[in-house]
Amino acid sequence: MKTFSIADNNVRMFCGWLDYSQVGALPFEALIFRDWFLALDMNKFAHDADPGFIEWLNDEFPGLEAMDPDRQRMQLLLCIEKWKHHPAMVNAPFIDPRPLVLPWGTSAVLS
């Protein structure tokens, strides 16, 4: 790869986490990243998309599409900080409770 593109990297991360979610629980940060990525372009949703989810994206990431990329990433970090200790997130069965970055030598086998 000759150049690095944050936008291309975001697409690859989204696809990777989406694939991973088919076989195991995602780290909390990956779930927030997924929603943040979707909120980057609200036009990608079909007319019959879940209105509750759309409302959540708009509430959590208001005006995200109009922000510059640095501010968009800051909104991602702020949302992670806001929700990472919320009981509904900490205790959710679909969230992998392990840290996003595992210590060296830790087994990555799904529990």
Would you give the DSSP letter of residue 103? P
User: What pLDDT was estimated at residue 111?
Assistant: 47
Please give the distance of CA 83 from its chain centroid, rounded to a whole number: 12
Indicate whether 6 belongs to any domain.
Answer: no
How many domains does the structure of the chain reveal?
A: 1
Indicate whether 13 belongs to any domain.
Answer: no
Please state, as a whole number, how many other Cβ atoms lie within 10 Å of the Cβ of residue 20: 15
Q: Domain range spanning residue 91?
A: 26-96
Q: Are 14 and 33 in contact (CB under 8 A)?
A: yes
Cα(69)–Cα(40) distance, rounded to whole angstroms? Answer: 10
Would you give the DSSP letter of residue 26? E
Tell me, what amino acid is at 22? Answer: Q
Indicate whether 21 belongs to any domain.
Answer: no
Classify 5 in phi/psi space as left (phi over 0), alpha (psi -120 to 50) or beta. beta
With a threshold of 0.75, does the pTM exceed it? yes
Cα(98)–Cα(27) distance, rounded to whole angstroms? Answer: 7
Contacts for 24 with CB less than 8 Å, ≥ 6 apart: 96, 110
Indicate whether 105 belongs to any domain.
Answer: no
Indicate whether 51 belongs to any domain.
Answer: yes
Predicted confidence pLDDT, tens digits, the chain (111 residues): 588 888 999 999 999 999 999 998 999 999 999 999 999 999 889 989 999 999 999 999 999 999 999 999 999 999 999 998 888 887 888 898 888 887 776 555 544
